[in-house]
Amino acid sequence: MTSGNDADARRAIVAKRVDSGDADLGEIRNLAAAAGYEVVGELSQSRTEDAAFMFGEGKVAELRDLVIERDAGYVIVDNDVGPYQTFNIGSELPEGVEVVDRFTLILEIFGQRANTRKAQLQVELAGLRYELPRAQAKASLAKRDERPGFMGLGEYDESVERDIKRQISEIRDELASIAEKEEARREKRRASGFDLVALAGYTNAGKSTLMRRLAAELDIDENDDRHPDLDPTAESEDMLFTTLGTTTRRAAMNRRDVLLTDTVGFVSDLPHWLVESFRSTLDSVYRADLVLLVVDASEPVETVREKLVTSHETLYERNEAPIVTVFNKVDRLEPGELADKRAALSGLAPNPVAVSAHTGAGIAELRDRVESELPRWERERLVLPLSDDAMSLVSWVYDNGHVNEETYTDDQVTIAFEARPTVVAKARSKAADLAAVESA
């Protein structure tokens, strides 16, 4: 019907209901903009949830008038709108106007940004999981009008439900096999002496900018072209969800070889199934040796607290690594503000590192902190008979650890080094083999 449904002019009204107090429409506006909608109006209500409409009936009428007045084609509701509520709101609005809820909106953004096979599968899985109860509701609504008898026992829409379930299980299998490959790759990287550090945090906390700051020149991932905000020449975008796939780069640390992985940002109020759909992306956080939890310290302290709580909630249960909280964007703080925020958030973020990824302030401290928090390396000293095999072992140790001392005598080489325990164990066994060959 209206021109509002044109793909190039997606005019939308954002609406939100809160139980009490004032509704904050800031985030949903940003999300809508990130998905490519033009927000032409907003509406909020403070009342308890209406079972049929989510909003009060009077508010829904107001919404309809606003939609007509602003010629909007979409209504974006920042609440967990049930399938029946969506149906009811939709039937009150002019024909052709679509009701979009927070999750559909986030899925839409993910869908637009999903460039890898894995990301596409994850978006598809999340979409199907979202669709499942709605297909069930549709079938149940359809059944209400049906009567038993001739032509009455049609397939209803239950076949849709079965299809969805089948697709969900297929996608799960494919994702599981991708996750296995990634796990194998992580293990390989660990085995070759790399420590894995993951950047996690709420969306728009500045993880990608921080990544760029910490990363060495050397690119080691083939995903870079799909991650435009990592391009050193690109302007940092003040945008939600610029990172969807994970990107891994080698970080320039003093001694340790660190691989830094940038991940999808967390968002609050996401249902469990949506987080679960992105599990294999989050695996790079869960399976890291250290997690840098990045927060935008320039935001009000309550917002930072809420975002930290969301992050902790997402990390809880699965995360095994120590967490270092990074207060980013400190260049935007007033003098004294940082100390106040540190004190207010000491329970959630004890001993945070304050940095500005933008100006580079605090980055050196962050590097030191990362090195001190990584799993301890063991010290070892090996005395090897001088031979070609011994020299190749020495060079292997150089690749996988940090050599403190290397001394040569006529027939022996002594090497003192530090490395992760598995590397030390491997070096010992290699050295034992050399000694065995020597004495044989």
Partner 1 sequence: MVAAAVHAVIDSSRIRSVEGMGFASAREGPTLDATLALTAEAIGNLPEPPDCPIVSEGGEFYGEPAELVALSFRPDFKYVESIGERATVQTAHYAAYAARDLLR
Residue 350 Cβ vs partner 1, minimum distance, rounded to whole Å: 6
If DSSP codes are grouped into helix, strand and coil, which group holds residue 147? coil
Residue 378 Cβ vs partner 1, minimum distance, rounded to whole Å: 23
**Among residues 346 and 407, whose Cβ is nearest to partner 1?**
346
Burial of 419 (0-12, 13-18, 19+ CB in 10 A): buried
Q: Tell me how far apart the alpha carbons of residues 19 and 50 are, in angstroms, rounded to a whole number.
A: 11
**Among residues 43 and 323, whose Cβ is nearest to partner 1?**
323
**Among residues 126 and 355, whose Cβ is nearest to partner 1?**
355
Residue 49 Cβ vs partner 1, minimum distance, rounded to whole Å: 13
**Among residues 150 and 316, whose Cβ is nearest to partner 1?**
316
Phi and psi at residue 92, in whole multiples of 5°?
A: -85, -20
Q: What is the DSSP string of 248-308?
A: EEEE--SSS-EEEEE-PPB-TT--HHHHHHTHHHHHHHHT-SEEEEEEETTS-HHHHHHHH
Pick the closest to residue 282 from 264, 259, 267 (CA basis).
264
361-364 long-range contacts, CB within 8 A, separation 24+:
361/330, 361/331, 362/330, 363/213, 363/214
Residue 426 Cβ vs partner 1, minimum distance, rounded to whole Å: 29
**Among residues 64 and 312, whose Cβ is nearest to partner 1?**
312
Residue 318 Cβ vs partner 1, minimum distance, rounded to whole Å: 10
Token pair listed for 257: 């070889």
Sequence-ordered alpha helix ranges (H) in 21-93 = 26-34, 57-70, 83-92
Token pair listed for 131: 């669709």
Encode 406-418: b = buried (16+ Cβ within 10 Å), e = exposed: eeeeeeebebebb
**Among residues 89 and 288, whose Cβ is nearest to partner 1?**
288
Q: Evaluate whether 272 touches 178 at the Cβ level (below 8 Å).
A: no
* Interacting residues with partner 1 (CB under 8 A): 305, 308-309, 312-313, 315-316, 319, 322-323, 325, 347-350
Phi and psi at residue 229, in whole multiples of 5°?
A: -75, -5
Residue 169 Cβ vs partner 1, minimum distance, rounded to whole Å: 30
**Among residues 8 and 19, whose Cβ is nearest to partner 1?**
19
Residue 327 Cβ vs partner 1, minimum distance, rounded to whole Å: 13
**Among residues 244 and 308, whose Cβ is nearest to partner 1?**
308
Q: Provide the 10 A C-beta neighbour count for residue 241.
A: 19
Q: Is the dihedral of CA 179, 180, 181, 182 positive or negative?
A: positive
Burial of 94 (0-12, 13-18, 19+ CB in 10 A): middle
Residue 19 Cβ vs partner 1, minimum distance, rounded to whole Å: 10
Q: Tell me how far apart the alpha carbons of residues 425 and 431 are, in angstroms, rounded to a whole number.
A: 10
Residue 335 Cβ vs partner 1, minimum distance, rounded to whole Å: 26
**Among residues 335 and 350, whose Cβ is nearest to partner 1?**
350
